[in-house]
Amino acid sequence: MRELFGCPRSRRRVTNSRLVALVIASSLAAVLSGCATPALTGSPAALSRVVQPLRVSAARLARLPAATTFGRLHGAPLDPAPFSPETGVVIHPTATRAVYAYPGGPPVAVLPATELSSPTWVPVVQTWFGWDRVLLPARPNHSTGWIFLGGGGLQTAYSPYRIAISLAAYRLTVLDRGRRLGSWTVAVGAPGTPTPTGRTFLLAAVAPRHPTYSPLILPLGMHSHTLSTFGGGPGTVGLHGWPDPSVFGHAVSHGCVRVPPAALRILSGVPLGTPVAITS
C-alpha cells in the first residue's frame, strides 16, 4: 500500500466528506477564536518605529517564488528557534501577499491565499512593530518570512490546539488549551526516510476521491530530508490513517505519521495553522 507523501494526486477536497467538513468548518468558523483583520495599534512612539515595506511592482511580484509546499525558497531566513513553542497566533492572507527577508528588507516570496485547495493559515513565531514572522511551507524546512500587517488583506486568529509528536515514543498527543484530548501510538518514518523534527503546522486538509489507506490526509508545513519527491508530489510530510494497525509503534513510513482512526477523528476537528511540534 502506498501512502500519500505530499498529497500530489488528490488535491480536490470532497465537500461531502464528514472529516473534511469538520476541518474546514473549524478553520473558517473560528475554532481559531475570533478572526479579524490585524491593525497597527499602539503608542505613537511604537507606531513611529514601524518600518514600511519596500514597494514591490506587480511584475516583480509575479517573478517571486510561491511559498507553497511545491516551492523552494532562496533568501528566506530559517527559523531561529525550531524547537521553541509557537505562539498559537495564525494569519491568513485573503489575497497573495509579499513575504520579506526582514522588516523593511527585500521580498523573497509570495504567500498565496490557498494551499492544496484549503485556505492558507500560517503560524506567527515572532512579532516586531507592525510585522509578523511566520513559518512557511516551502523547502527548505524551517523557512520563515516577514509579513507587513498594514494595508489590510489579512485575517488573524488564535488556535488553542497543539499537536505533539514524539518519534522515540511513537506517540502523537493532541491538546486543547493544555487539556489532553487524546494520545495514541503511531507509526513514523523508517530509518532511511525519517520524519523530520522541529516546529511546523497543519497546512491543509485533503480527502482523496478514492481513498486507499486514509479518508483524510493532513499535510504539514515540512518535507522529507531524504526524498525530493514521492508519488509525483514534493515529498511533503503529513498525518494520515492506516488500515493495518500492526504498523503502530514502528518506524516504517516514508516520513509521514500514520495514526489510528480515533486520532484521525480528533485531528479532523483541529483548525488549519495549528502548531505541530515533532521531537526525536
pLDDT tens digits for 121-168?
A: 999 999 999 999 999 999 999 999 999 999 899 999 999 999 999 999
Residue range 237-248, pLDDT digits in tens: 999 999 999 999
The reported pLDDT for the residue numbered 230 is 80
CA separation for the pair 66, 96 (Å, rounded): 9
- Going from N- to C-terminal start, the domains of the chain cover 18-26+160-279, 30-158
Domain 18-26+160-279, CATH among 2.40.440.10, 2.40.30.10, 2.40.50.140, 3.90.226.10: 2.40.440.10
What is the predicted pLDDT for the residue at 9?
30
Whether the pLDDT of residue 44 is over 90: the answer is no
State the virtual CA torsion across 149, 150, 151, 152 in degrees, nearest 10: 50
Q: What confidence score (pLDDT) does residue 45 get?
A: 56
Is the model more confident about 13 or about 270? 270
- Would you place residue 43 in the very low, low, confident or very high pLDDT band (cuts 50, 70, 90)? low
What is residue 111's predicted lDDT score, i.e. its pLDDT? 98
Q: List pLDDT tens digits, range 189-224.
A: 999 999 999 999 999 999 999 999 999 999 999 999
pLDDT at 231 over 90: no
